[in-house]
Amino acid sequence: MMISPATGRCDLARAGDVRGDPVGRIAAQAVCALCSFVRCGLLGTLLILLAACATRPGPDALNIVSAPPRGAKLIKVYVATTRERMSSNSNAFSAGRAPGLNYAEFTIAIPPGHKPGEIEWSAGASDPARNFVVVAQEILDAQQFYRQVARQRGGKGPERIGVFVHGFNTNFQEALFRLAQMTADADIDGVPILFAWPSEATVTGYIADKDAATYSRDGLVQLLTTLARAYPNDKITLVGHSMGGWLTVEALRQLKLTGRFGVLDRLDVVLAAPDIDVDVFRSQMMVIGPLREPITVLVASDDRALSVSGRLAGDRPRLGALDINDARIQEAALKANLQIVDISKLTASDSFNHDRYVNLAQLYPSLAATAGSGAGNGLRRAGAFIFNAVGTTLSSPFDLAGRALAPD
C-alpha cells in the first residue's frame, strides 16, 4: 500500500475511484483514512521522541544566582502573563490560566562565551560562567510594572518597547530566556517585555495551546493599549512567533474592532514563522486593514513544524510556510502592505527549521542602520523579499518588466 506524494492518498482509494465502484470506493476511503491516522500517529510519536531528547529548563532555572561572572551581560526583562503563579510568592508560572494579567521582572545574566542565536541551557545545576542564569527577580502588580518600565526608559525621549509573544509548546522559562537572548544579541536600547500565555509545553498539546492563546487575547490587547497610553511617544515593536503570531494578529483585529486606531498606529509588527491558516489570515487582514508600518512576515517554505501543523488542519497551508516565488504571494504582499521575507538562508537550531528568526537579532543593527539610507535593503517596505544572510540585506529576486517587485 503506497501513498501518493502528490495527493497524499493511498493506492487503494485511487483504485476505487478509477473503477467507479461505490462500495469499493467507500471501503478504500476508509482504509485511506486509517492510513492517514497511522501516518499522523507515527509523525506524532516521532515528534514526541525528538522533544524528549531535548534539554528543557524547569522552574529551577529561575532560581537566583547571587554573583554573575565577570564579563556577563545583564538583561532586564519585564513580564506580563496570563499564566498562573505556582504560588502567591513565586515568579515561577504554571500552564494554568490566570483570571487576569500577572506581572514580574527578571534580570538575566548572559554568559561571557554566549554564542549568538543560542540559549546556553544546563541539564543540571546552572554554571553562571557558561549558562543563562537569573540574578534578580521581583513580583510586580500592574502599577509597579508600568512604573518599573518607565524607570527602565530613563525618562528620556522616545524609546522603543519590544513585546515578544512566544509560540506553541513553550514553557515560561524558555520564553523568558529566548527574549533575553534576542535582546542581548540585538544589542540595542529598548525595553523588552515578554507576553507569556499558558502553553502546555507539550507536543501533544496543540489544541490546548490554541485554546490558551485564544484565552489570552484580551490580556495582550490590554497590555498594548496601556503601553500606548502610558508612553505616547514610544514605538512598540510587537513580535509574535508561531502560534503566538496567530494570537498577535487576533489582538490586532480586536484593536481594530474596538476602535483603538491610535494603538494600531504605534505598532511595528513582526510575525515570525506564523502558524496561521492562509485563508484565516486573509480574513483577519480584511478587518485590520493596512497598518501605518508594513507588517513583516518571516517565512520559510521548508519549515517542517508548520508542515505538520498544516496536515493537522486538513492540509491547509500556513502563512509562515509561504513560497514567495509564487506571483500571487508577491502581488498580495503589495496590496495588503505586507513585507514578506524569506529567511530560509538563515541557520536553524533544529531539524524543524522553525526558529530561524532568532538569528535575525544579531543582524538587526546592521539592517536598521541602512534603513532609509538608500542602500536598497528593503527594510520596512511592502513587497516580497529574500534575506541575504551574507550581506545582511533584504533583496528582491523578482523582476517584472525589468524592474524589481516593489511599490512605485
Residue-wise pLDDT tens digits, 340-385: 988 888 877 777 777 888 888 777 666 665 554 444 455 668 888 8
How crowded is the C-beta side of 400, counted as CA atoms within 13 Å?
12
What's the confidence (pLDDT) of residue 42?
A: 40
d(CA 319, CA 86): 35
What's the confidence (pLDDT) of residue 362?
A: 77
d(CA 48, CA 64): 31
Burial of 42 (0-12, 13-18, 19+ CB in 10 A): exposed
Three-state DSSP class for 306?
helix
Q: Give me 206's grid cell.
A: 496543540
If we measure between CA atoms, which residue out of 349, 380, 403, 328 comes closest to residue 181? 349
What's the confidence (pLDDT) of residue 407?
A: 36
d(CA 256, CA 250): 10
For 130-166, b/e burial (b = at least 16 CB within 10 A) is ebbbbbebeebeeeebbebbeebbeeeeebebbbbbb
Amino acid in the structure at residue 284:
Q
Cβ–Cβ under 8 Å, residues 232 and 249: no
d(CA 277, CA 20): 34
If we measure between CA atoms, which residue out of 127, 217, 209 comes closest to residue 168? 209
Q: Give me 298's grid cell.
A: 518571516
Cβ–Cβ under 8 Å, residues 261 and 189: no
What's the confidence (pLDDT) of residue 155?
A: 59
Q: What is the pTM of this model?
A: 0.82
Three-state DSSP class for 136?
strand
What's the confidence (pLDDT) of residue 393?
A: 61
Three-state DSSP class for 198?
coil
The low-confidence residues of the chain, meaning pLDDT below 50, are 1-20, 22-53, 372-376, 397-408
What's the confidence (pLDDT) of residue 358?
A: 85
d(CA 270, CA 164): 10
What's the confidence (pLDDT) of residue 198?
A: 98
What are the φ/ψ torsions at residue 85 (nearest 5 degrees)? -70, 145
What's the confidence (pLDDT) of residue 406?
A: 35
Q: How many CB atoms lie within 10 A of CB 220?
A: 27
Alpha-carbon torsion, ordered 226, 245, 353, 8, to 10 deg: 170
d(CA 22, CA 2): 21
Alpha-carbon torsion (352, 358, 360, 362), positive or negative: negative
Q: Give me 293's grid cell.
A: 508600518
Residue with cell 565577570: 70
What's the confidence (pLDDT) of residue 291?
A: 93
What are the φ/ψ torsions at residue 124 (nearest 5 degrees)? -125, -135
Q: Give me 154's grid cell.
A: 530613563
How crowded is the C-beta side of 83, counted as CA atoms within 13 Å?
30
Cβ–Cβ under 8 Å, residues 240 and 165: yes
Kind of pairing between the strands at 383-388 and 338-342: parallel
Q: Give me 181's grid cell.
A: 537572548
Cβ–Cβ under 8 Å, residues 86 and 200: no
d(CA 321, CA 309): 10
d(CA 28, CA 9): 10
Question: Three-class SS string for 315-328?
Answer: CCCEHHHCCCCCHH
If we measure between CA atoms, which residue out of 180, 75, 70 comes closest to residue 128? 70
